[in-house]
Amino acid sequence: MRPMTSESVPRPALRALRAALIGIAALGLLAACSSDEEPKYVERPVEELYNEALDQLEAENFEDAVTAFEEVDRQHPYSVWATKAQLMTAYTHYLADEYDEAIIALDRFTDLHPGNRDIGYAYYLRAISYYEQIVDVQRDQRVTKLALDSLQQVVQRFPNSEYSRDAALKIDLTRDHLAGKEMAIGRYYQRRDEQLAAINRFRTVIEEYQTTTHVPEALHRLVECYIALGITQEAQTAAAVLGHNFPGSTWYRDSYALLEGKDLAADPSTNSWLRSAWNWIF
């Protein structure tokens, strides 16, 4: 008998054979896929899960650490370890520079556990998660303002804590950053000869960020803007405020030279907002 070949098999039978083979292959594929399914849920002791998470964190396997801490919360939601794991999840995200995820986890923690002994740290870590995202003054400062608000919450809610002292320091740095943004915008307007818009920005620095390092320059820029507009009395007052409070600064020397070149003298006696500023800001 001759061996059977594809030529000797009727076409309908050949198609049926191919379909059967494809079906067998598909069943094999499904069987292989089923072996890749998630492992069966096995409840484990909470201490074992928590220690495993800590080991992953110490090894800087942040993704695995987050998964392990979340497993503590999932398997033992009413235990004290679950509360700790929620905070550690946020901390792990922070270490991994996943600040948005850290903030979400911290918001959840503070909502669920407002009376927890670590609530101060949770507020502090949330503020730091915003603080770490502060960008240069040429870019949008929305996150900087969120950082400032969060840092102020730490100081107000936990004034005697160790977190409050560090938050207060960072508040000063954050305010200086926001003042720097106002200065950058003011200088931009000044270069475009939009003096009134520039004055508004420099005035904001003097009135709202008076303890920052940008105040001397802001006063000098006001001198320049007022002279450009021909408002000599305001220019004189700005220079007088600058000289009274920062007599040794290069900005005062520049303002003095500018006024001298215009045959003007610094005069604080005019009735202006700067005269009031002289009385209460410094």
Query: What is the structure's pLDDT at 279?
Result: 53
Query: What is the structure's pLDDT at 270?
Result: 56
Report residue 194 as tokens: 């939009």
- Rounded to the nearest 10 degrees, the angle between the axes of helix 162-191 and helix 119-131 is 20
Looking from the CA of 249 toward its CB, the CA atoms found within 13 Å total 19
Report residue 57 as tokens: 């964190």
CATH number of the domain at 45-113, out of 3.30.413, 1.25.40, 1.20.120, 1.10.357?
1.25.40
Query: Cα–Cα distance between 163 and 131 in angstroms, integer?
Result: 14
Mean pLDDT of 191-214: 96
Query: Cα–Cα distance between 176 and 147 in angstroms, integer?
Result: 13
Q: What share of the chain has pLDDT > 70, as a percent? A: 78
Q: Is the pLDDT of residue 116 over 60?
A: yes
Burial category of 248 from C-beta neighbours within 10 Å (exposed 0-12, middle 13-18, buried 19 and up):
exposed
Mean pLDDT of 83-101: 96
Phi, psi (deg, nearest 5) at residue 130: -75, -45
Helix (H) or strand (E) holding 236: helix 232-245
Predicted TM-score (pTM) of the model is 0.76
Q: Integer distance in angstroms from the first to the last C-alpha of the chain?
A: 113
Report residue 79 as tokens: 């235990």
Q: Is the pLDDT of residue 224 over 90?
A: yes
